[in-house]
Amino acid sequence: MTKNLVVIGAGMASGRMLEHLFEAAPGAFTVTLFNAEPRGNYNRLMLSPVLSGEKTYDQIVTHDEAWYEAQGITTRFGEAVTAIDREAQIVHGARGPVPYDALVIATGSAPFIIPVPGHRLPGVVAYRDLEDTNAMIDASRPGARAVVIGGGLLGLEAAAGMAARGAEVTVIHLMGHLMERQLDPAAGYLLQKDLEKRGIRIHCKGATKVILGQDRVEAVLLEDGTVYPADLVCMAVGIRPETRLANDAGLEVARGITVDDQMRTSDPAIYALGECTEHDGQLFGLVAPLYDQAKVLAATLAGDQAAFRPVQTATKLKVTGCDLFSAGDFADAPGREDIVFRDPGRGIYKRLILEGERLIGAVMYGDTADGAWFFDKIRTGADVTADRDTLIFGPAFAGGAPSDPLAAVAALPPEAEICGCNGVCKGQITRAIEGGATTLDAVRGLTKASASCGTCTGLVEQVMALTLGDGFAANANPPMCKCTDHTHEDVRRLIKSMGLKSIPAVMQELGWTTVGGCASCRPALNYYLLADWPLEYRDDRQSRFVNERNHANIQKDGTYSVVPRMWGGVTTPDELRAIADAADRYNVPMVKVTGGQRIDLLGVRKEDLPAIWSDLNDAGMVSGHAYAKGLRTVKTCVGQQFCRFGTQDSTGLGIRLEKLLWGSWTPAKVKLGVSGCPRNCAEATCKDIGIVCVDSGFQISVAGAAGMDVRETVLLLTVATEDEVCEVTAAFVQLYRENARYLHRIYKWVDKVGLDWCREQVSDPATRAALHDRFMLSQSVFQTDPWADHAARPAEWSPIADLSLRAAE
């Protein structure tokens, strides 16, 4: 006797299950198939090619009317199931009940909709079924504007599809890089670059605040204030298992419908399958494990033994022209090692993750041809120790002789191109070396090899090593840190010449050998980027040393010191009262006058920082940046207003300079002094920049120091007016900001580049004005009081949780 099998949901998993079932147990079941969509099963994975116009709906149908009829399946498409009566074993549909002996719930998943205001407006769609796809196709006329919320797999396929139809597409993604669940930041960066090349605008770290519109969607407003006009909004931020029916029927549901290894729910007559299930705490979204489930369930229903064991899955993005592959586990974790391969010129990035002798994960971008080969290694857990040296080169290299990079260069013919930018071949370099060029600079000077983008520097050095043998001494200027072979100077030059505008971009394009840099290179890169791209780059707080991240100086016991700015060392009774009140209120253990003419409150607890800043802000004071690689203080003497020897208003000039320069980030700290006469009471001649007022005007001298090295300043220029002092000082600081390496004080940098060169730059009126303008542009962004910004969010400065009370309970 045949049994009644009812299946709710005609998706890919249930379709596959029915195929297996009819094969294993033909005629054993009379099947009724419900589907909420008014159609049968189609290949949902192929909706993206339908959206982009590369396929039609008819081409992606997997089971047509004829198939259902041939199998004797009663189809109830477009009909919602309203309830499951487990007692009576009856499924209630909108058009009548059906009894069952066995029931399969395969309701799939529902798109997650962010409940922001406006999410119900017409024109806001998800991306799950043919209706959504058709809505997007209709809206994607050339010139139409579409916003996709969510930069994951689905969102990007939606974006690419609409862009291919001519729409102007913007993707808003909450995270720092695209597809963060499948890709690491470097691969995410390459993907973003490729998508931007095809005109898709990408906005990472963007949180949607409101979807705007009267009768239908008109625009999307983000938390940061950005507004993107939109004729259509596609929300693709994720999916959740569709469990409402199972919930109502009282089945056991966690995040998904709980199933055992046989796909059985908590009711032995009811099974579940697909994206709506949860097995052993795990949810499923990719098709491979769902097909495995289908096979297991068909066997179970046919009375055979089978057990579901989830397997590894791999992800590929179905966007034509974006080659991307990720498989296995690629998160950083203990005992794991990375093998990284980057070919910046071709936009190729490959990363393998090893644990012990096994390959456990792979991320690839640009060239994914070997994906299947790596995936197989991950799945089988094969021992890869013996192949480790050449593993990243894939199957083509497997078993071959280990390669020696020097041997590879040696094998190049003389006409092989080494420097692509300048078209320099190996033979030209060899001839230059044989002609007497024994240093990299000399070779660069003679041949131009590695003189443009510089990425071939390593190759040029290898040619030199081969030609000179033991006579070759590698570049005396050491690399920036252990993460790279490039020097600080090379990195600064390449950031500008290659237009690199983020830390992941620098690490990718310049071939960083570590995943996230180190405590030495990250602050340097952050500085270089914000100095070179003041308008485009956003400061990365996590790449800053603690003092700059917390805008206070950490002390040996973990407390902080707080120094408000005191312009030119001048204060008022009100400011002093406010400082005294703050010291009392926050139990400041020590109040000290600093060498830079201001007052230091020492021993403040981290969680009190926002409150003490807020109090000082209220009294009109801002951060003194006593912690910054930036402008610290401008020390002054009293000047002509009170002093019988004073020749100029040194106090007023000091205040003016401090108001001009404060807030600017520099490679290392910058201190100024302004003395009103050559008696030099402000000790201006041992500062980074010192101004000495004389009867005829102002002597601007630079490159002093009074730290581990003690140096007297040297005269840069003498000028006649305060205005000129300000313009020259700003221009000189900008010259330093643009050219010095991180952590080099002005005196070290001037030693390297020469005072004459600096003088030439700031003496030439056009160059000086341009430097001054670039400085002011940067100040338009960075001259803000960080205390005021952070005092507004005090919660972030306190412990995230307090368990000290639990013990007492």
Partner 1 sequence: MSMIDIAALADIPREGARVVRTPQGCVAIFRTATDQVFALDDRCPHKGGPLSEGIVHGTQVTCPLHNWVFDMATGQAQGADEGRVATHAVQVRDGRILLDAARLTSRAA
- Smallest gap from residue 184 Cβ to partner 1 (A): 6
Chosen residue from 496, 541, 679, 752 binding partner 1 by CB under 8 A: 541
515 binds partner 1 per the rule CB under 8 A: yes
333 binds partner 1 per the rule CB under 8 A: yes
Q: Rounded CA gap, 211 and 114, in Å?
A: 10
401 binds partner 1 per the rule CB under 8 A: no
- x/- map, 214-233, partner 1, by CB under 8 A: --------------------
- Smallest gap from residue 47 Cβ to partner 1 (A): 28
- Smallest gap from residue 557 Cβ to partner 1 (A): 8
- Smallest gap from residue 299 Cβ to partner 1 (A): 32
- Smallest gap from residue 537 Cβ to partner 1 (A): 17
- Rounded to the nearest 10°, the torsion over CA 691, 693, 697, 703 is -20
- Is 521 annotated as ligand-binding? no
CA angle 327, 329, 331 (to 5 degrees): 125
| Sheet of strand 145-149: strand arrangement | 124-125, 232-235, 145-149, 168-172, 201-203
554 binds partner 1 per the rule CB under 8 A: yes
Residues 6+ apart with CB under 8 A from 801: none
Collapsing DSSP to helix, strand or coil, 416 comes out as: coil
- Smallest gap from residue 807 Cβ to partner 1 (A): 4
Chosen residue from 550, 623, 701, 761 binding partner 1 by CB under 8 A: 550
Residue 360 one-letter amino acid:
I
556 binds partner 1 per the rule CB under 8 A: yes
Q: How far separated are the first and last CA of the chain, in Å rounded?
A: 64
Chosen residue from 133, 543, 685, 701 binding partner 1 by CB under 8 A: 543
Closest to 634 (Cα-Cα) out of 693, 563, 687: 687
Tokens of 541: 């707080």
Residues 6+ apart with CB under 8 A from 305: 299
Contact 536, 495 (CB under 8 A): no
Tokens of 118: 């406006």
185 binds partner 1 per the rule CB under 8 A: yes
- Smallest gap from residue 797 Cβ to partner 1 (A): 10
Chosen residue from 334, 399, 413, 573 binding partner 1 by CB under 8 A: 334
Stretch that binds partner 1, among 331-339, 531-539, 575-583, 701-709 (CB under 8 A): 331-339
799 binds partner 1 per the rule CB under 8 A: yes
- Smallest gap from residue 488 Cβ to partner 1 (A): 18
Residue 86 one-letter amino acid:
R
792 binds partner 1 per the rule CB under 8 A: no
**How many chain residues bind partner 1 (CB under 8 A)?**
39
516 binds partner 1 per the rule CB under 8 A: yes
Q: Rounded CA gap, 493 and 122, in Å?
A: 50
- Is 419 annotated as ligand-binding? no
> Which CB sits closer to partner 1, 540 or 724?
540
348 alpha carbon, distance to own chain's centre:
18
Collapsing DSSP to helix, strand or coil, 218 comes out as: coil
545 binds partner 1 per the rule CB under 8 A: yes
Q: H/E/C letters for each residue in 95-160? A: CEEEECCEEEECCCEEECCCCCCCCCCCCEECCCCHHHHHHHHHHCCCCCEEEEECCCHHHHHHHH
Stretch that binds partner 1, among 110-118, 119-127, 608-616, 795-803 (CB under 8 A): 795-803
Residue 361 backbone phi and psi in degrees, to 5: -160, 160
Stretch that binds partner 1, among 298-306, 516-524, 678-686, 690-698 (CB under 8 A): 516-524
Q: Rounded CA gap, 390 and 406, in Å?
A: 15
> Which CB sits closer to partner 1, 59 or 555?
555
Q: Rounded CA gap, 613 and 562, in Å?
A: 8
Chosen residue from 522, 551, 629, 768 binding partner 1 by CB under 8 A: 522
Cβ-count burial of 26 within 10 angstroms (0-12 exposed, 13-18 middle, 19+ buried)?
A: exposed
> Which CB sits closer to partner 1, 457 or 559?
559
> Which CB sits closer to partner 1, 94 or 546?
546
Cβ-count burial of 210 within 10 angstroms (0-12 exposed, 13-18 middle, 19+ buried)?
A: middle
Chain residues 618-677 in contact with partner 1, contact rule CB under 8 A: none
Chosen residue from 49, 241, 371, 517 binding partner 1 by CB under 8 A: 517
Closest to 659 (Cα-Cα) out of 646, 672, 640, 643: 672
335 binds partner 1 per the rule CB under 8 A: yes
Contact 83, 40 (CB under 8 A): no
- Smallest gap from residue 493 Cβ to partner 1 (A): 24
Chain residues 245-304 in contact with partner 1, contact rule CB under 8 A: 255
Q: Rounded CA gap, 699 and 673, in Å?
A: 12
> 251: which DSSP letter?
-
Tokens of 712: 């007297």
> Which CB sits closer to partner 1, 557 or 695?
557
558 binds partner 1 per the rule CB under 8 A: yes
Contact 43, 11 (CB under 8 A): no
115 binds partner 1 per the rule CB under 8 A: no
803 binds partner 1 per the rule CB under 8 A: yes
Stretch that binds partner 1, among 5-13, 396-404, 660-668, 797-805 (CB under 8 A): 797-805
521 alpha carbon, distance to own chain's centre:
17
Q: Rounded CA gap, 25 and 22, in Å?
A: 5
330 binds partner 1 per the rule CB under 8 A: yes
> Which CB sits closer to partner 1, 120 or 556?
556
- x/- map, 149-178, partner 1, by CB under 8 A: ---------------------------x--
557 binds partner 1 per the rule CB under 8 A: yes
- Smallest gap from residue 53 Cβ to partner 1 (A): 35
- Is 637 annotated as ligand-binding? yes
> Which CB sits closer to partner 1, 710 or 800?
800
Q: State the sign of the Cα–Cα–Cα–Cα dihedral 317, 322, 328, 331.
A: negative
802 binds partner 1 per the rule CB under 8 A: yes
Q: Helix H segments across 533-608?
A: 546-550, 573-585
542 binds partner 1 per the rule CB under 8 A: yes
Residues in the chain: 809
- Smallest gap from residue 542 Cβ to partner 1 (A): 4
Closest to 541 (Cα-Cα) out of 526, 554, 524, 531: 526
Positions at the binding site for siroheme:
681
Positions at the binding site:
637, 643, 677, 681
Positions at the binding site for [4Fe-4S] cluster:
637, 643, 677, 681
Contact residues toward partner 1 (CB under 8 A) are 176, 180, 184-185, 255, 330-335, 514-519, 522-523, 541-546, 549-550, 554, 556-558, 799-804, 806-807
